[in-house]
Amino acid sequence: MGANGSSPETTLITLRDPGSPAAEAFRTLRTNLLFSSLDRPLHTLLVTSTAPDEGKSTTLANLAVTMAQAEQRVLMVDCDLRRPSLHTIFGVPNERGLTSAVLAQDDGPLPIQPTSVPGLHVLTSGPLPPRPADLLGSRRMGALIERMRSEAEIVLFDTPPVVAVTDAATLAPRVDGVLLVLHAGQTRRDRAREARRLLEQVKANIVGVVLNGAKVERGYAY
């Protein structure tokens, strides 16, 4: 169970209502990412947003579920070392995680945890560090990313909003692609442009944009 007594089955639309338009949208996103990467395979994908509360973590979690349901080995990594949430979404402990692995002086097993979804694992944030950007930009983090590639077919990194702090821009050049999450009626256009500028500035490979909160037919809002 999560911190508030919730479980992935109740908090994730792809598990709670797999036949819904929203769940189908995540499966379409999965397919689009697959076809967009035919010439340049995506083994590592960073998910970020322009500002807090645009749904980046939930987007990542639902996308990860659909990928695992397609019989891929998927690893989610919580790199939001300011407001981590993947441990809450999937109801797993967070005493050890990414920061523990970065600070470890050995190459022992990563503290990866299974979820209730077959094939889907998570590396939670672990204890929050005083300077997240320094940790994410460290040489040790680069070595860990290479280790993570061997742990799964696709590794999804959840990071803080790219406009708010430098964490996402620090990590973006080290992964194969970046997915930017926006929220209809909430994301400011100038922030969206600034997010793209910041990512392009570090030569990140922006593979797509997810628009949350867009109204669709039959009154279903996603």
Query: H/E/C letters for each residue in the chain?
Result: CCCCCCCHHHHCHHHHCCCCHHHHHHHHHHHHHHHHCCCCCCCEEEEEECCCCCCHHHHHHHHHHHHHHCCCCEEEEECCCCCCCHHHHHCCCCCCCHHHHHHCCCCCCCCCEECCCCCEEEECCCCCCCCHHHHHCCHHHHHHHHHHHCCCCEEEEECCCCCCCCHHHHHHHHCCEEEEEEECCCCCHHHHHHHHHHHHHCCCCEEEEEEECCECHHHCEC
Tell me the Ramachandran region of residue 215: left when phi exceeds 0, alpha when psi lies from -120 to 50, beta otherwise: beta
**Third-level CATH fold of 8-214:** Rossmann fold (3.40.50)
The structure tokens 């990512």 sit at 199
Specify the amino acid at residue 31: T
Q: How would you write the pLDDT of the chain (222 residues) with one tens digit per residue?
A: 444 455 776 679 999 999 999 999 999 999 999 887 667 789 999 999 998 888 999 999 999 999 999 999 999 999 999 999 999 999 999 999 999 999 987 778 999 999 999 999 999 999 999 999 999 999 999 999 999 999 999 999 999 999 888 999 999 999 999 999 998 878 888 889 999 999 999 999 999 999 887 766 554 444
Return contacts of 215-218, CB within 8 angstroms, 24+ apart: 215/184, 216/21, 218/21
pLDDT score at 185? 79
Q: Are 143 and 105 in contact (CB under 8 A)?
A: no
- Phi and psi dihedrals of 207, rounded to 5? -95, -15
pLDDT score at 145? 95
**Taking the CA atoms of the chain, what radius of gyration do you get in angstroms?**
16
pLDDT score at 1? 47
How is residue 76 written in tokens?
């989610």
Query: Could you tell me the pTM of the whole model?
Result: 0.91
pLDDT score at 10? 67
In the chain, where the domains are located: 8-214
